[in-house]
Amino acid sequence: MNLWGLSDLATPWCLHVVATLRIAEHIDAGVSEIAELAAEAECDREVLRRVLEHLVSKGVFEQSEPGRFALNGAASGLLDPATRLGLDLNGIGGRMAYAWGSLPGYVRTGAPAYRQIFGRPFWDDLAAHPPIAASFDALIGPAGHGIPSPDFQIDGGWGPVRTVVDVGGGTGALLAEILLARPHVYGMLVDLPRTVARARETFRSAGVADRVILVGQNFFNPLPAGADLYILRGVLNNWDDADAAALLKRCAQAARPSGRVLVVKSVVPDGTPPSLSISMLLVGGKDRTVAEFRELARPCGLEIVTAGRQPSGHFVVECRPAGA
């Protein structure tokens, strides 16, 4: 195994740079010659040429003749909104890239060292930089996930479900799709005020604004009570065990006596090898196996009803309040 090859940072940083400079978009618009590309991107011609030639050597972009570049299959991926957001150094992509510099501190202490790089914990940093917070919302919303699938199979089916609370649902893309697919369902979106303010357009465009209540609050505060279904999609893995348990307790309290809690994209099958994820570096979160989740949820007043991968590809855990 070539350790130098594994540790080479040139290629990922070149990708970050061309994404930030929108090079793929310029080429897609018909600009291919290096001097013209550099002028469009407002950067140095010679350095940009070297960056692109390095990426060509790695299979990203093509060079049809000296100084003239074209998209190939790999480079076309840079046109994808999620890829662009994840790589753009001017937004959340930059935060995620530079956060890897906090890994030594994280390994030494077991606590996220994001503050050492940016001066604040992750969520405080987003609150202090609204443009970065907006790019984060976009990355975890439709830009990052496309049109989210509303096809969750739940115990007993969706027929009895009348109210759904999407906890930490960002700008509402998933809840909008659920309401579009199920005209008998009403929804509530719970997230920070700055985020739910951006969600208004999501629901208006989907034509479901009359069936949604927007709740701008910290979701560690008491949640709207009495709904039939509470959804946590890609939320729990952003928090350590103590905070994840606090959120599960809020869901259990709100769902009693007959509601359910659906956990999506934060729990993995038992036996899944642990991984080091960017969420661990940013906020100390992690994916949990079903067994780990069961041990976390039981003291919070929740018991697992079903857990497994569904036909849509989602791995979903459905819970009920204990004793329900």
Q: For the chain, which residues make up each domain, given as ranges?
A: 3-79, 81-142, 147-321
CB 321 within 8 A of CB 301: yes
81-142 topology per CATH: Helix Hairpins (1.10.287)
**What's the CATH number for 147-321?**
3.40.50.150
pLDDT recorded at residue 97: 94
**What is the mean pLDDT of the segment spanning 288-311?**
95
Structure tokens at 12: 């990922």
Identify the residue whose tokens are 């700008």. Answer: 171
pTM: 0.86
CB atoms within 10 A of CB 87: 20
Domain 3-79 has CATH 1.10.10.10: yes
pLDDT single digits (tens) 20-44: 999 999 999 999 999 999 999 999 9
C-alpha distances out from residue 105 to 94, 102, 125, 243, Å = 19, 5, 18, 21
Could you tell me which residue, 3 or 121, shows the higher pLDDT?
Answer: 121
| Confidence category of residue 150, pLDDT binned at 50, 70, 90 | confident
CB 318 within 8 A of CB 252: no
CB 170 within 8 A of CB 238: no
**What is the mean pLDDT of the segment spanning 272-297?**
89
Average predicted confidence (pLDDT) for the chain: 92
* Rounded Cα gap, residues 24 and 37, in angstroms: 10
Residue 144 has pLDDT above 60, yes or no: no
Question: In 3D, which of 300, 141, 152, 147 has the Cα closest to residue 231?
Answer: 152
